[in-house]
Amino acid sequence: MPADSRAETSEPPSHPQPYRAAWPWVLCVVGLDYLSTLGYMPSIAFDSAGRLAPLVMGVLGLVTVLGALPVYWYIAGRSPNGQGVLALLERHIPGWLGKLLILAILGFAAADFIFTRTFSTADAAEHLLHGPHPVWQRALSETASWYERNKDILPDSVSQALSGWSNRQLSATLLLLLAGMVVGIIFRRGIRRRFVQLAVLTVLLYAALNLVVIGSGVLFLADHPERVQQWWDAVEAGDWDARSTHAAGPVNTAVLATTSVQLFPKVILGLSGFEIIMLLMPLVKGRPNDDPAHPRGRIRNTRKILLAAALTMPLYLIAASLVTTLLIPPEAFRASGQAANRALAYLAHGGPVVGLPPGETVSPLFGLGLGTLYDASTIAILCLAGVSISLCLADYVPPYLHRLGMELDWVHRLGALIYLFTAIKVLVTFYYRASVDEQRGAYATSVLVVFTAAAFTAALDVWHRRSHRFWLLRLPVLFGPILALFAFGLAQVVLSEPGGAKIALWFIGFTLVTSIMTRFYRTTELRCPGFDFADERSREDFEKLKTLDFPILVPHRPGRHTLAEKEIEIRSRHRLPPELPVVFVVVELGDPSEFQHRPVIRIMHEEGRVVIHVTRCASVAHVIAAIGIEMSRVGVAPEIHFGWSNENPLTANLHFVLFGHGNVPWLVYALLRNSDLPESQRPRVVVG
C-alpha cells in the first residue's frame, strides 16, 4: 500500500507500557482519585447548596451517567492508546490553530492535575489536624511549639509571610506533600505492578470503611423516616441554609429542579478523577490478538471501567450527601466546624448528631477507633491520589510537548518538567495558604474545561465522520447538548468565582510562552528520522541515486518556472556542464506546525528529468538537508544548488518557523552543520 495513502486511525502511545493490568485493578487506580473525593465532597456540597445538597449531588450523578460517560465511552473507542482528546483534536484541527488549542487544553489539564495534588493534600491535612486521636494531637502540638521556638532562624521575609497564615494547616500540607514526593520517587518508573497492588489495597479498605459509615447512616435514616420528612419539608419551605442560593418562600418541584441544575457546577469536583481513565487506558489489559491500531479488547475493558465508575461513584456521593446533610448540625460544616471538609470522618468519630443526646452516636461502631482508622485511610487515599496524578502527568504532558518540539531535549531526558511541576505545587500551596476552600474555584474551573474540551472533541469527531452527509444530518445530536451543559457549568463557575479562571489562565500563559520559545529554539534540529516511499519502484530509484558519481540536487518550486527553464537557469548561473546530471527536488509542504515528520518520497521522470517528489513535510529545509545527508552516507556527498532569494531575512526566518519555508539555503547549510557527518563528507550548499 502506498505510504501516503495509509489512514492513521489512532495515535501511537507516546510511551509503550510493558505492564498491563486487568481492568478491575486499573479501576482501583482510578478510584484513588475518584473515590478520594468522598473525603471532601459531602462538606463542599453542603457548604454550596445547604439542604439541597443531596438533590444537587443527584444532578451530578445524572451528569456523570448521561454526560461524562457517553463522551468518554466514545473517545475510548476513537483514541484507545492514551492520548484521548488531544489525539482527536490534532487529527481534526491541523496546523497552528490546532496546536494552540492543544496547548491551551494541556495548560488546563496541567492545572487540573496540580490542583488535584494540592487540593487533595490540603484536605488530607484537614483530616490529620482534626483527627481527635491523642497521639496525633500531641505530635501536632509539639510540632507547632517547635516552630514557635525556632521561627527566629527563618529569614524575616519568610516569617512575615507565614505569620498571618494557619501554620498548622500549611505545615501539615507541606509535610504530606513531601511524603507524597517520596512515594512518587519510589514509583518514579510509572504505574506498575507494585503501585497497582498498593492502589487495590487502599481503595478496597477505603471503599469498605465508607460503606460502613454511609451504610450505617442510611440504616439510621431508614429507622427514623421522620428525619427525612423533616428535611424535605424544610426544602419545600425554602429553608435551604445554602451559601450559594436562597429561596424567598415555599418552592415547587420545578424550582427545585432548576436550582439544583444551576448549582451542579459547584459540586463538579465530584467528577474529578473520571477523566484519568483515558490516561490509564494504555495500562488496561486487552486480548492477546488485539490489533495495536484498534485494540478492541482494551477498548471493551476500558468501557467496563467507565461504566463501573459512572454507576458506583454517584451512588456513594448521593448517599454520603444525604446522610451528612440530615445528620450533621449545619454549624459543624462551617469553616471552624469539626465537619468542615471531613464530614464522613466527623460521623465516623461519633460527632454530635442532630436530634440525638450528647454522647449518643448513629452506630455503636462509631467512635475513636473507627474514626482514627477512617482518617488514616482518607489521608492515605488522598495522598496516593496526588501521586497517581503526578505519575500520569509525567506520561502525559512532557512527551506530548516534546513531540511537538515544545520541550528541550535535556529537559525531557532529565524529567525537569516534573520537577518544575513539583515546585509549582509548593508555590500553589503557599499561595492558597493550604486552604481547601480557596483552591476550590481554580480546581473546579480546570475540571470543567477538561470535560468541556472532551465533549467538544467528541462532537467535532462525529461531525467529521459524517462529512459525506447533508449538514443537518451531521449534527452531533448526543454530544451537542452535553457540550452545552458543560459549557454552561464552566460559565457559571467562571462568573461566580473569576479568581479561579485567572489562576488557571496563568497556567495557560506559562505553557504557551515556554512552549513557543522552545519551539523557536529547536527549529534547527534535525527532526526527520527517515523516509517512507510511495512505492517499491521509488525506493529502488532512490537507492540508485545514492550511487551517482557527482550528484547535483536542485530544489525546485513549481509554478514559477518549468523544469526546463529551471535547468537552463541553474546551469548558466552555476556553470554546470550539460553532461553533468541534475536531480530536481520538489517538496510539497504538509502541516508545518508538526515537529518531527517522516516524509514520503516518490521518484518521478518528467520531460526526461529525474524528480524527487516529497510530500507530508513539515519543513522544506529539513527535507532537503535530510535527502543530502542520506545520500552522503552511501555515496559521494552531493552538491545542493539554490537560486538567489530576495526575501527579507526577518520575514524569511518567520516563514520558516511558522510555515516551514523561507531562508531555505542558509537553513539547509545550518542543518548540515548540525549533522553527525564528518565535514569532508557533508553536502555542499551552493547559492548563485
Q: What is the pLDDT of residue 680?
A: 81
Please state the domain extents for the chain.
Answer: 20-521, 532-687
Does residue 17 sit in helix, strand or coil?
coil
C-alpha 356/C-alpha 453 separation (Å) is 47
Q: What is the pLDDT of residue 564?
A: 85
Would you say 266 and 497 are in contact if contact means Cβ atoms under 8 Å apart?
no
Q: What is the pLDDT of residue 13?
A: 42
Min mean pLDDT across 245-254, 373-382, 414-423, 428-437 is at 414-423
C-alpha 159/C-alpha 447 separation (Å) is 34
Min mean pLDDT across 255-259, 298-302, 483-487, 654-658 is at 654-658
Residue 352: phi, psi to the nearest 5? -55, 140
- pLDDT-based confidence at residue 410 (cuts at 50, 70, 90): low
The domain 532-687 having CATH identifier 3.90.1570: the answer here is no
Q: What is the pLDDT of residue 180?
A: 87
C-alpha 660/C-alpha 594 separation (Å) is 9
- pLDDT-based confidence at residue 97 (cuts at 50, 70, 90): confident
C-alpha 266/C-alpha 497 separation (Å) is 10
Q: Do domains 20-521 and 532-687 have the same CATH topology?
A: no
Listed in sequence order, the DSSP H helices in 133-190 are 134-150, 156-163, 167-186
Min mean pLDDT across 191-200, 269-278, 420-429, 617-626 is at 420-429
Q: How far is CA 203 from CA 26, 27, 38, 200, 211, in A?
A: 11, 9, 12, 5, 12
Min mean pLDDT across 165-169, 197-201, 540-544, 553-557 is at 165-169
Angle, in degrees to the nearest 10, between helices 479-496 and 436-465 = 150
Instruction: Report pLDDT digits (tens) over 653-671.
Output: 555 555 556 678 888 888 8
Over 80: is that where the pLDDT of 305 sits? yes
Over 90: is that where the pLDDT of 483 sits? yes
Query: What is the full DSSP assignment across 415-481?
Result: THHHHHHHHHHHHHHHHTTT-HHHHHHHHHHHHHHHHHHHHHHHHHHHHHHTTTS-HHHHS-TTHHH
The candidate with the shortest Cα–Cα distance to 304, out of 288, 284, 319, is 284
The candidate with the shortest Cα–Cα distance to 125, out of 173, 81, 78, is 173
DSSP label at 66? I
Would you say 82 and 278 are in contact if contact means Cβ atoms under 8 Å apart?
yes
- pLDDT-based confidence at residue 413 (cuts at 50, 70, 90): low
At which residue does the C-alpha cell 537507492 appear?
543
Instruction: Report pLDDT digits (tens) over 99-127.
Output: 888 888 888 888 888 888 899 999 999 88
- pLDDT-based confidence at residue 229 (cuts at 50, 70, 90): very high
Instruction: Report pLDDT digits (tens) over 494-514.
Output: 888 887 777 777 877 877 787
Question: Between these two residues, 70 and 403, which has the higher pLDDT value?
Answer: 70
- pLDDT-based confidence at residue 411 (cuts at 50, 70, 90): low
Instruction: Report pLDDT digits (tens) over 169-196.
Output: 888 888 898 888 888 888 877 888 999 9
Angle, in degrees to the nearest 10, between helices 85-92 and 436-465 = 40
Over 80: is that where the pLDDT of 7 sits? no
Residue range 267-292: mean pLDDT, rounded? 89
CATH topology of domain 20-521: Amino acid/polyamine transporter I (1.20.1740)
Q: What is the pLDDT of residue 18?
A: 58
- pLDDT-based confidence at residue 15 (cuts at 50, 70, 90): very low
Question: Between these two residues, 139 and 332, which has the higher pLDDT value?
Answer: 332
C-alpha 583/C-alpha 609 separation (Å) is 7
Q: What is the pLDDT of residue 102?
A: 84
The candidate with the shortest Cα–Cα distance to 104, out of 568, 456, 571, is 456
Instruction: Indicate the residue type of 348.
Output: A
Min mean pLDDT across 220-224, 249-253, 459-463, 601-605 is at 249-253
Beta strands in 591-683 (DSSP E): 600-606, 609-617, 639-642
To the nearest whole number, what is the mean pLDDT of the chain?
84
The candidate with the shortest Cα–Cα distance to 165, out of 132, 119, 134, 122, is 122
Query: What is the full DSSP assignment across 320-373?
Result: HHHHHHHHS-GGGGSTTSTTTT-HHHHHHTT---TTS-TT--SSTT-SHHHHHH
The candidate with the shortest Cα–Cα distance to 17, out of 381, 291, 281, is 281
pTM of structure: 0.83
- pLDDT-based confidence at residue 452 (cuts at 50, 70, 90): very high
C-alpha 133/C-alpha 358 separation (Å) is 19
Q: How far is CA 267 from CA 47, 61, 447, 488, 603, in A?
A: 10, 11, 11, 14, 60
Q: What is the pLDDT of residue 132?
A: 64
Conformation bin of residue 532: beta by default, left when phi > 0, alpha when psi is -120 to 50 = beta
